[in-house]
Amino acid sequence: MQRCLLSSPSTTNCAGLRLHPSLMPKLKVVKLVSSVPYHTRFRKLRPPPGLMLSQPKCGQALNFFSTLHNSFMFALPPNHLNYTLPWNRNVISTCMTSSVIRSTSAFVPLSKMFFSQSPSVAAKNDVMGVRDGKSSGFSFRRFNRHSKKLKGVVALNGNKGAPSGSPASISLLDNAKPDSTSNSLVNTARPDSTSTLVTNSKPESKVSPKKKKQSRSKNKKEQISSTVVSEEAHVAKSSKNSSLRNSTGNLLTETHDGSALTKKRSKKKSTSPNRRQPMGEDNDPIQKQVQKKSSQREKPLKQLYPPTGKSVMVVESVTKAKVIQGYLGDMFEVLPSYGHVRDLAARSGSVRPDDDFSMVWEVPSAAWTHLKSIKVALCGAENLVLASDPDREGEAIAWHILEMLQQQDALGENVTVARVVFHEITEASIKSALQMPREIDVNLVHAYLARRALDYLIGFNISPLLWRKLPGCQSAGRVQSAALSLICDRETEIDEFKPLEYWTIEVQLKFEESSTVVKDASFPARLTRFNSKKLGQFSITSETEAKDVQQKVNLENFKVINSKRNSTRRNPPAPYITSTLQQDAANRLNFPATYTMKLAQKLYEGIQLSDGEATGLITYSRTDGLHISDEAVKDIRSLVTERYGPRFTPENACKYYKKVKNAQEAHEAIRPTNIRRLPSMLAGALDEDSLKLYTLIWSRTMACQMEPAIIEQIQLEVGNCDESTIFRSSCSKVEFLGYQSAYQDEESETLGFKDNEVNRYSETFGILSSLKKGDRLYIGEVETKQHHTQPPARYSEGSLVKKLEELGIGRPSTYASTLKVLRDRNYVTVKNRVLYPEFRGRMVSAFLAHHFSEVNDYSFTADMETELDNVSAGLTEWKGLLRDYWARFSSYCSRAASVHIHQVEKMLEKTFGDFLFASLPNESRTCPSCMEGTLIFKVSRFGAGYFIGCDQHPKCKYIAKTLYGDEEDEESPQKNNNVEEPKLLGLHPGTNEKIFLKSGPYGHYVQLGENRTGYQPKRASVSHIKKVDSITLEDALDLLRYPLTLGEHPKDGHPVILKLAKIGFAVRHRRTTAPVPKAMKPKDVTMEKALKLLSSKDVRRSGRPKNKPKVEEEDI
């Protein structure tokens, strides 16, 4: 309900209503009731029950009328009527009448005097209200039509705007003057305007903030966020089924920062109007929402198990819901949300930096069905249990569900909302979590909002620039671009790598016949010292040097000069986290990261076992924590002792700590929920790949709580008499298996892999250990080996995930999706498990490095992850983080937008010049066609193509190399045809004109003659030929014969033509075209066959209908 205030110098007060003395004889007030609730949508011209007027002495004095936003405004001559509101805070009952008496003559409509919907910003001197020179903003809460009790209206502090979700205050006063005797309100009118909604987004401000037009949702599927972040001073209890709505009658718009409408509003003590409120948790809407719910209970959340009433639990998937339902019984109803119930609208403007980073949320149509099911289930329920996944995304899903249900009034006054988390889906874990409910973690929600806003701002600001500057390049992102930069930088290192040659000398050493060692036994050794000089990697750099060393070595006698033995302990590996699981699955099982996470999610959500039990098999798979619960550690150590013996169990449990940058360690490591559930027991319940992944996790979990393996090493040095030439041989063997027993276990056989270190070099180790100092040896065979230094290896999916983890880029939940995006955008390809960057991806990376260096910088992305983690911990204010980042990022966007596409072409040519021009037949970049121009890198006018062509275009249309076509269609018959264009095929035997093979925007073609002004050379398409480079002069002459006239049609005398079609040949008669079958050769098409083809069912007709009315032709 809107409020209206007029001023008057001298009035008579009557219970809050001030009437001018001159108007008193004309009106008789018989009854005035304050704050009587009524439905605002009453019929037009009906006076509100708050003001009842009778016996009007002037028939034209009264006129009630309806105005904007379902409330009634009024207008009277100046200095005749004044409404004022009691400023005493003890008086909560105020005059609520919105309809007023209006004279039909000489009155200015108040709707035009005091209201405007113009989006202009309020002036600095505009204030919400004035009392004794102090700002005093206030607003009214709208009454519910179902309310049966008398409700109060509370004036809000001048420091504080309308509460979140309440109707916004109306700015009516300007240049307020303090009055010591009465609370006068001075107002100024703004003609020719309608209505203004002003929200106070800065509680500490004494003046009215910027006027903002309240967003409205186009339909119920889209919820628009507002920016009201103010507090309440005095708020009365709302009715039980109160449903706040906006001025259009739709559901009230949501706030992006979580200020959902609560079912009850707590009574807060007011603060001084002039007291500034510090920015912090107390002013945060999400925090206030939690505080309000906590103040309603005035005690901690009670345990939800054993149940005392009906509870509705919401999880994310159907599988998880079925498993948990079996644990909890009929007192719980477990429903799935099917993931997120709303998300940022995928269009420009969904995050608004100029509007305090408000966000536009969109609800998928399918989500309404799931929300309706939850809403129906809540009827008669005492508890709503939000049990989404225990991470940032899960916390956000719980928050979204809560807000959506509150907006639909699905939560009654007695419904308790609780958040529970569990890291494994077992009966004990679920029931334990229900005994420890908590509130939604507002810091995690803030971190989610900040992350979504950052990713959106980067993606939706850089991507349009890519579309314009680099056609065909689809998107960029914060983590995605950093990962792409890693791959492209590695490719650049490989391109720039210069291999170096080096040689090594290896020999086979044998024993003398008198030796006690087994005859014919030998062992390898490598030359490490020659001519009393220690050999390095590049000491021998040519074959000549290697042959010289070989000859000298053959002339020497050798003996054992030194033997060393030592033992080392190889510690067990840490339990799996998300990144290491993806790496091992890629290295050992050849699973892509996306597929690994899909299988892991399936194992986490649970399956139906052969004995009828439904349970989750592993703990939550998106984690960077290395710790394991004490209870699970006890079970693991117990099973290790049973299967392998007490020697394999360490005295104390093994504990692991984070080594990853920015690790949060909020969850346990990935492990089986029941370590005694052996892989062999699941052979019939799981598919092959799921069983392999479970076995991998089971083996790693067993190994992490076992003794280290003991490795014994031996190193033998063999030299000549003066020890100027020395060979070295070394070998090792496993003395004690320790944790490696888990990988030698029969349960690990399903992996098809065993560690061969047990028998590795066992024979060689025996020979070396039998030798002692002084034993004579002789050279059996000398081998010289040539080597070249190798460039750094390209990333595999596993090694890229490891590198991202080391740099602190991304989070466990983002690794797989990042790799998938890079593949889907055709920025990288995967060949033999290795990631190769496409040239399109390299162009994107170079463009971002040149114009958005901060986004492409590894340290920036890692530091941003740290800041987001600080938001999760409550150490950083999320909007402040966004403001700081946006201030820098927006300047990058402005500069990049002003760059011309020719500048981008020059930058890419300079960056990739060697790569672009290396494959050309001539090293010279002079155009071979016109001999005047220079070959340059250019962007095609047609679609997303790039090519190397002459810079004298359009005078010279020579194209040396095409990089991408319009649509990279794998089925295109001419794909990967490398033709030097234009290619001269020869001369026409009749006209002696040149015949060229050329390429255009629609494919290759042959052309008779050269391009000349005023002359159109004859052309013929060759798109139906797969191998364009095999076209000869004879083929071109045959194609240039077409179109060929076969004769005249017997019915109308029009010609029947055999012509080249897009694919193959076709016959045409007027507007009718019929394709020639592929099996039929063009030279075999006669007039009779052509007529038969034209009468078949496969014909296609073009043009307008023959008997179409003339008027329609004109309209068309």
pLDDT digits (tens, 9 = 90+) for 890-900: 888 888 888 88
Residue 278 lies in a domain: no
**286 in a domain, yes or no?**
no
Residue 67 covered by a domain:
yes
Q: What is the pLDDT of residues 53-112, one digit of tens each?
A: 444 434 443 343 333 333 333 344 444 434 333 334 333 333 333 333 333 333 333 333
Residue 482 CA: distances (Å) to CA of 469, 487, 579, 829: 20, 9, 17, 17
Q: HSE, CB side, 13 Å, CA atoms: give it for residue 993.
A: 16
Lowest-confidence segment of 119-133, 530-544, 1046-1060 by average pLDDT: 119-133
Whether 288 is in a domain gets the answer no
Q: In this predicted model, which residue has the larger pLDDT, 236 or 446? A: 446
pLDDT at 533 over 50: yes
- Model confidence band, residue 661 (pLDDT cutoffs 50, 70, 90): low
pLDDT band at 472 (very low <50, low <70, confident <90, very high): confident
What is the largest distance, in Å, between two alpha-carbon atoms of the chain? Answer: 142
Give the whole-angstrom CA distance, residue 668 versus residue 629.
7
Q: Which pLDDT score, from 0 to 100, does residue 28 have? A: 40
Residue 282 lies in a domain: no
Residue 311 DSSP label: E
Q: Tell me: the pLDDT tens digits for 675-724?
A: 999 999 998 889 999 999 999 999 999 999 999 999 999 999 999 988 99
**Domain membership of residue 932 as a residue range:** 919-1039
Q: How far is CA 987 from the centre of its chain?
A: 59
- Inside any domain, residue 249: no
Does 1029 share its domain with 883?
A: no
Distance, CA of 712 to CA of 732 (rounded, Å):
6
Amino acid 274 reads: N
Rounded distance between C-alpha atoms, residue 792 and residue 761, angstroms: 29
Domain-embedded: residue 295 = no
CATH number of the domain at 469, please.
1.10.460.10
Q: What CATH number does the domain containing 668 carry?
A: 1.10.290.10
Number of folded domains that form the chain: 7
Burial 238-250 (b: 16+ CB within 10 A, else e): bebebbbebbeee
Sign of the torsion angle spanned by Cα atoms 157, 161, 165, 171 = positive
Check residue 714 and report its DSSP letter. E
For residues 520 and 419, state if they share a domain. Answer: no
Say yes or no: 76 and 160 in one domain: yes
d(CA 1109, CA 1104): 10
1047 token code pair: 């004769």
User: Considering 440, 469, 489, which residue would you say is the last residue of a domain?
Assistant: 440
Tokens read off for 226: 């507002």
Tokens of 1000: 């255009």
Q: Which two tokens stand for residue 192?
A: 């020719």
Last residue of a domain, one of 244, 262, 283: 244
Per-residue model confidence (pLDDT) at position 949: 87
pLDDT value at residue 211: 40
Residues in Cβ contact with 1038 at an 8 Å cutoff, skipping those fewer than 6 apart = none
Least trusted range by pLDDT, from 22-26, 88-92, 576-580: 88-92
More confident residue, 1087 or 145: 1087
User: 463 or 641: whose pLDDT is higher?
Assistant: 641
Rounded alpha-carbon distances, angstroms, from residue 109 to 2, 398, 819: 15, 48, 63
pLDDT digits (tens, 9 = 90+) for 1035-1067: 888 888 888 888 888 888 888 888 877 667 888
653 shares its domain with 733:
no
pTM of structure: 0.61
Question: Is residue 376 domain-shared with residue 238, that is, in the same domain?
Answer: no
What is the pLDDT, as a whole number, of residue 520? Answer: 62
Q: What are phi and psi of 333, to 5 degrees?
A: -115, 115
DSSP per-residue codes, 647-677:
GGS-SS-------STT----SPPB-BSSTTS
> Which pLDDT tens digit goes with each residue over 742-785?
998 888 877 765 544 445 466 788 888 888 888 888 888 899 99
> Are 823 and 720 in the same domain?
no
Does 620 qualify as catalytic in the annotation?
Answer: yes
Write down the pLDDT at residue 1064. Answer: 77
Last residue in a domain, options 440, 462, 477: 440
Q: Are residues 659 and 761 in the same domain?
A: no
What is the CB neighbour count within 10 angstroms for residue 219? 7
869 and 1000 co-located in one domain? no
- Per DSSP, 618 falls in state B
Judgement on whether residues 693 and 625 belong to the same structural domain of the protein = yes
> What pLDDT sits at residue 289?
52
Q: Position 995: which residue type?
A: I
Task: Give pLDDT, residue 284.
Answer: 56
For residue 286, what pLDDT band results from cuts at 50, 70 and 90? low
Residue 1103 pLDDT? 52
Tell me which of 305, 327, 456, 620 is the catalytic residue.
620
pLDDT at 233 over 50: no
Question: What does each C-alpha distance from 747 to 671, 696, 703, 739, 1114 come to in angstroms?
Answer: 16, 10, 13, 14, 81
Both tokens of residue 924? 């010279």
List the structure tokens of 14. 């009557």
Q: For the chain, what is the mean pLDDT?
A: 72
Which segments of 613-720 are extended strands (E)?
Answer: 614-615, 709-719
Looking only at the bridges linking them, the beta strands covering 946-950 and 726-736 are: unpaired
Note if the bond before 109 is cis, omega within 30 degrees.
Answer: no
Residue with tokens 């992102």: 477
Task: Please give the full DSSP string across 404-418, using - where no structure is assigned.
Answer: HHHHTT-S-TTPEEE
Which of 832-841, 935-944, 1081-1090, 1091-1100: highest mean pLDDT?
832-841
Cβ contacts of residue 1083 below 8 Å, gap of 6+?
none
Contact 979, 1009 (CB under 8 A): no
Q: Which tokens hold the place of 600?
A: 């892991």
- Residue 400 sits in the same domain as residue 417: yes
C-alpha distances in angstroms, 1065 versus 66, 154, 954, 1059, 1071?
74, 84, 32, 6, 16
Question: Do 435 and 472 lie in a common domain?
Answer: no
| Residues 640 and 562 placed together within one structural domain of the fold | no
Residue 153: pLDDT over 50: no
CATH of the domain at 311: 3.40.50.140
At 736, which helix (H) or strand (E)?
A: strand 726-736
Contact indicator for 729, 571 with CB cutoff of 8 Å: no
What's 406-469 look like in SS3? HHCCCCCCCCEEEECCCCCCCHHHHHHHHCCCECCCHHHHHHHHHHHHHHHHHHHHHHHHHHHH
pLDDT class for 301, splitting at 50, 70, 90? Answer: confident
Contacts of 938 (CB under 8 A, 6+ apart): 905, 946, 947, 948, 949, 953
For residue 867, tell me if it sits in a domain.
Answer: yes
Identity of the residue numbered 100: V
